[in-house]
């Protein structure tokens, strides 16, 4: 037997403190959005007596289950503004957080397969350019030049009739993003408390004053909700409703391959989006399952349909194998836009409804939600994304806007 001593454990990125009796603010949910919110609360607003309460482990929800696509080519002005701010933050965050989380601006293509798609796409490119978002329209030949493994022949079921392209878009390594934020939060004095499920709220009239958790009662000045798929359940506990439906969303990876896929390709028509991770696995996402679900798994036919479409578009994938599939629980709204703002409960704020596409929004969600929590009023960027819009009718309908999904 070896007598050699084990090397010392490398330094932990964050501590695991026990919850204190009281905080100035607690953030519910230790996914990307909760972490980014706590980071900006500490950094921009000097609020460091705060805690993140996570029922499971850090980033164990959608944060480390998503396909990591980052882009800002949304149709409407309100969306373009917040997602473009997010992309600008992604561009500076590796340096600011002192952590190389492999943010790679390899471009994202959104394929058009029908004449309707083509019209919508060209319209969106125009809208993007007016909003200062980098966007181009590519014809099939240009598509092929950028991504040679795509099948652009016109005798397939979903022929490629062109694509929109955003060169500054790309991917990042999601678990590293979480760790990067967690380390900085910890350095700034934020308590990251895992295995701490919020089970109820303490209120003084219409004002929230504390939370009940699986690790005891914690009093707090403010509460920020960042619970993604579980947002509506927590809101109900606090005494208000959210227009959210939770659905399973699945993704999968192949075994490792040599680099074959230089960019990110998305198709809303056939619900497939593909990139190749740094290690070499092909990462593919599917569409949501139609039914409401909290099971963190979806139905296999969704994966089957997605693979059929992927193999037709990328014939080279026919010999690849599915290594792993998984699901997350996404919080969808009727207009496919997030809700970031105040709630009917005083001192309680909500950030939810990012649905299938909130990874890219992580930095902007954190920035604007921290502003909302600290000042009690929304930042200019999240003002349109209020809960009230479902009453006023000022919806931000990104559903019909061709660039939905991820």
Partner 1 sequence: MLLFPCPNCGPRNETEFHYGGQAHVAYPEHPAELTDREWAEYLFYRQNTKGLFAERWVHSAGCRKWFNMLRDTVSYDITAVYRIGQEPPALRTSQPTTGMGMSTTRQGTPEGVQL
Ligand X SMILES: Cc1cc2nc3c(=O)[nH]c(=O)nc-3n(C[C@H](O)[C@H](O)[C@H](O)COP(=O)(O)OP(=O)(O)OC[C@H]3O[C@@H](n4cnc5c(N)ncnc54)[C@H](O)[C@@H]3O)c2cc1C
Which residue number, 118 or 201, has a Cβ lying nearer to ligand X?
A: 201
Residue 155's alpha-carbon distances to 263, 277, 379, in angstroms, are 24, 30, 49
**DSSP bridge partners of 146:** none
299 scored as a contact of partner 1 (CB under 8 A):
yes
- Smallest gap, in angstroms, from Cβ of residue 225 to ligand X? 9
- Smallest gap, in angstroms, from Cβ of residue 380 to ligand X? 22
Tokens 């600290």 correspond to 374
**Which residue ranges make up the site for ligand X (CB under 6 A)?**
28-34, 53-56, 59-63, 65-69, 197-198, 226-228, 230, 234, 249-251, 285, 328, 330, 354, 356-360, 406
Query: Who contacts 259 (Cβ-Cβ below 8 Å, separation ≥6)?
Result: 276, 280
Q: Which of 43, 390, 397, 399 binds partner 1 (CB under 8 A)?
A: 390
306 scored as a contact of partner 1 (CB under 8 A):
no
Check if the beta carbon of residue 255 is closer than 8 Å to that of residue 279. Answer: no
Which residue number, 229 or 366, has a Cβ lying nearer to partner 1?
A: 229
C-alpha 19/C-alpha 361 separation (Å) is 28
**DSSP bridge partners of 223:** 26, 348
C-alpha 51/C-alpha 38 separation (Å) is 8
Q: Which of 59, 228, 244, 249 binds partner 1 (CB under 8 A)?
A: 244
What does 65 interact with, of ligand X, partner 1, none (CB < 5 to 8 A by kind)? ligand X
392 scored as a contact of partner 1 (CB under 8 A):
yes
What does 354 interact with, of partner 1, ligand X, none (CB < 5 to 8 A by kind)? ligand X
Q: Which of 8, 11, 95, 391 binds partner 1 (CB under 8 A)?
A: 391
**Token pair of 353, please?**
């409804």
- Smallest gap, in angstroms, from Cβ of residue 299 to partner 1? 5
What does 299 interact with, of partner 1, ligand X, none (CB < 5 to 8 A by kind)? partner 1
Q: Which of residues 202-241 bind partner 1 (CB under 8 A)?
A: 230, 232-233, 241
What would you report as the CA-atom Rg of the chain, rounded to the nearest whole angstrom?
A: 21
Which residue number, 184 or 406, has a Cβ lying nearer to ligand X?
A: 406
292 scored as a contact of partner 1 (CB under 8 A):
yes
Which residue number, 281 or 335, has a Cβ lying nearer to partner 1?
A: 335
**DSSP bridge partners of 331:** 246
- 22-28 and 69-70 beta bridge pairing: unpaired
**Token pair of 216, please?**
């005891």
C-alpha 26/C-alpha 39 separation (Å) is 12
Question: Length of the chain, please?
Answer: 406
* Neighbour count for residue 364 (Cβ, 10 Å): 29
Residues that bind partner 1 (CB under 8 A): 230, 232-233, 241-246, 290-295, 299-301, 333-334, 390-393
């Amino acid at each position: 037997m070896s007598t050699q001593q084990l090397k010392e454990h490398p330094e932990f990125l964050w501590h695991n403190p026990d919850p204190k009796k009281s905080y100035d603010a607690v953030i519910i949910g230790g996914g990307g959005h909760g972490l980014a919110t706590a980071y900006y609360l500490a950094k921009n607003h000097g609020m460091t007596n705060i805690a993140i309460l996570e029922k499971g482990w850090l980033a164990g929800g959608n944060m480390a289950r998503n396909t990591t696509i980052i882009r800002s080519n949304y149709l409407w002005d309100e969306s373009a503004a917040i997602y473009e701010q997010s992309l600008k933050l992604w561009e500076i965050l590796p340096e600011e957080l002192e952590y190389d989380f492999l943010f790679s601006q390899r471009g994202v293509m959104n394929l058009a397969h029908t004449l309707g798609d083509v019209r919508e796409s060209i319209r969106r490119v125009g809208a993007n350019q007016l909003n200062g978002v980098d966007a181009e329209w590519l014809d099939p030949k240009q598509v092929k030049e950028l991504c040679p493994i795509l099948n652009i022949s016109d005798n397939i079921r979903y022929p490629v009739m062109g694509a929109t392209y955003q060169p500054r878009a790309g991917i990042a390594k999601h678990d590293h993003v979480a760790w990067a934020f967690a380390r900085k939060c910890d350095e700034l004095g934020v308590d990251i408390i895992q295995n701490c499920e919020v089970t109820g709220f303490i209120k003084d009239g219409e004002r929230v004053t504390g939370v009940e958790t699986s690790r005891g009662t914690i009093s707090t000045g403010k509460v920020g909700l960042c619970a993604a798929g579980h947002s509506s359940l927590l809101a109900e506990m606090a005494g208000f409703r959210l227009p959210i439906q939770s659905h399973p969303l699945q993704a999968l990876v192949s075994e490792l391959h040599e680099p074959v896929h230089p960019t990110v390709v998305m198709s809303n028509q056939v619900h497939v989006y593909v990139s190749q991770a740094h290690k070499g696995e092909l990462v593919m996402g599917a569409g949501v399952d139609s039914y409401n679900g909290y099971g963190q798994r979806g139905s296999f036919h969704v994966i089957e349909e997605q693979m059929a479409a992927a193999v037709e578009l990328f014939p080279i994938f026919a010999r690849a194998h599915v290594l792993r599939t998984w699901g997350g629980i996404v919080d969808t709204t009727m207009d496919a836009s997030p809700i970031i703002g105040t709630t009917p409960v005083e001192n309680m704020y909500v950030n939810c409804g990012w649905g299938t596409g909130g990874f890219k929004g992580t930095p902007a969600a954190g920035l604007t939600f921290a502003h909302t929590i600290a000042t009690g009023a929304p930042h200019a960027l999240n003002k349109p994304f209020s809960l009230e819009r479902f009453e006023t009718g000022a919806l931000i309908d990104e559903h019909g806007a061709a660039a939905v999904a991820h």
